[in-house]
Amino acid sequence: MAGKNNNWKKDHNDIKNELLADKVSDVFKKNPTDWRKNLETMGFTWVDDGQEEHEEENHAVAKNTNQEYLVAYFEGQVDYNSSLIDIFIEETETDNPNYPLFRRYFKSGNSRLFQLFITGLADAPTNQTLLSGVGYFHENNQILSKLITIYSNACKKEQDIEKFKQLCIDFSIYTQPDGYDAIAGLKLLFQADEQKLRMLEEVTEIMGNPGEVVDF
C-alpha cells in the first residue's frame, strides 16, 4: 500500500480505509478471476452510480447568476470573455459547488469548457483548479497528449517545491490509467534540476506501485 508515512497520506489517513484497501488488493492478487464474489463476502454491495448521476445532471439547474452565465457560455449563447475564468474558479471552489450542473458539460466533452481551461492556463499555467478541470475532462474524453503537455508545462513553471510535488502526484494519478509514466517523463525533463529531481524521487516513493493502490 503506497502512501504510508508521508504528507500525501494526510488525504488518506483513515486506518480502516487503509487496512480495507490492503485486503481488497489481496483479493485482486489472489483470485483475479472471481474477485467480485470475494469482495461481496467482505461486505461490499454493488451500486450503479451512473444512472443516479445521469438523473442528477438532467435535472440540474443554475442556482445563481454566475452559473447562469457559465451555462449560457457553454451553450453558445454568449461569447467568451476573460471574466468567465474567474467565475468558473469561484463557482468550483465554493463550499457547495453545483457539481451535477457542471459535470454534464465535462461528460459531453463541451469544447467551450475545454477552451476555457486552455485560455485560463495560458495566463496561469499552474492554477490547480484549472489543471484538475483538465484532468477530469480527460477522464471523460481522452485527451492524453494535451494533458501531458499541459501538466508538463505546469511542472516546469511551478517553483514552489511543495506545489510542484502535488502537481506531480496529480499528473501521475490522471495518467496512470492510460499506461503513461508521468514521473519517468518528468525525470527526463528535469534531469538538470537537482531540487525537482529529489522531489520526484520522493513522489516515486509516495506513489509506490500503482497496481497496489486502491482509492476510496
Question: Which tens digits make up the pLDDT trace of 172-184?
Answer: 999 999 999 999 9
Residues 2 and 208 sit within 8 Å (Cβ to Cβ): yes
pLDDT greater than 70 at residue 13: no
Percent of the chain whose pLDDT exceeds 90: 66
Using the CB atoms, write b or e for 70-109: b if 16+ within 10 Å: bbebbeeeeeeeeebbebbbebbeeeeebebbbbbbbbee
pLDDT greater than 90 at residue 201: yes
Where residue 80 falls (left for φ over 0; alpha for ψ -120 to 50; beta otherwise) is: beta
Percent of the chain whose pLDDT exceeds 70: 73
pTM of the model: 0.73
pLDDT greater than 50 at residue 198: yes
Residues 40 and 32 sit within 8 Å (Cβ to Cβ): no
What average pLDDT is seen over the chain? Answer: 81
Q: What separation, in Å, do the N-terminal and C-terminal C-alpha atoms of the chain show?
A: 13
Question: Which tens digits make up the pLDDT trace of 139-167?
Answer: 999 999 999 999 999 999 999 999 999 99
pLDDT greater than 50 at residue 8: no
pLDDT greater than 80 at residue 87: yes
